[in-house]
Structure formats: structure tokens, C-alpha cells
Amino acid sequence: MQDSSLTTLLDAIEAELHRLGHLHEASAPSIRVTSAFGYGQTPFEQWLGQVFLPNARAAVASNDLPASSQVAVAAFRNFDGMDEANALISLLGSFDAKINKAGRVRGGA
């Protein structure tokens, strides 16, 4: 069953990416990366829109969530000193918290 709170959160993350000018097309094609957070392959903000969002939406839709998430840590590092990204970092932190809490519940911790 799809988690509507995660879907709502992903919608808010997408809207914030649009507001910041980091997401220009609603249906930008997904890109393939082989490194964590697209490091060395694509700008982080592009990775968020074209890798993270599609993959996170697919995971929520199929209820195949990862055991943990640290995307907010990566965002904090990549957007360091950019006050305008604080809302995005906060939303990503909320995403991490929901995923990590669900992972602990599934793991029995």
C-alpha cells in the first residue's frame, strides 16, 4: 500500500526544487548514475530531480522502501551556505526521518 504521507512529502520536495529553479521540466527523463548522489557524474540538484524523485516515487508506489536514507545530509553538504535551500533541506530531512523510522520498524529495532 502506498504511503500517502511520503507521496505528499515528495510532492513538496518537487515543488521546492521548482521554486529554486532546479527542476525545469515536470517529466524530465530519469538519468542513470553509478555513484552515490551522482557524485562526479551530475550536479546534485539534477540528481535530486532526475534520479532521487523518480526512484523515491517508484519505491513508495511499490512499497519497496530502503532501510535508511541520508539524502538530507548530502543536501546540507551540497547546499552549504545557500540559505534559500533551507526549506528543501528540511523537507529532505523529513523524508529521511520517515524512511529511517520505517526501516527501524521493519528491522524490528
Kindly report, residue by residue over 37-68, the tens digit of the pLDDT: 677 778 899 899 988 999 999 999 999 999 99
pLDDT on residue 23: 83
Identify the CATH number of the domain in which residue 9 sits.
1.20.1440
Give the confidence band of 103 by pLDDT, cuts at 50, 70, 90.
confident
* Residue carrying the nine cell digits 532501510: 67
Within 8 A by CB and 6+ apart from 104, the residues are none
- The number of distinct structural domains making up the chain is 1
User: How many of the other CB atoms lie within 10 Å of CB of 73?
Assistant: 14
Prediction pTM value: 0.86
Give the model's pLDDT for residue 26: 54
State how far the Cα of 60 lies from the Cα of 1, in Å rounded to an integer: 8
Full residue range of the structural domain in which residue 10 is found: 4-26+34-107
Percent of the chain predicted with pLDDT > 70:
83
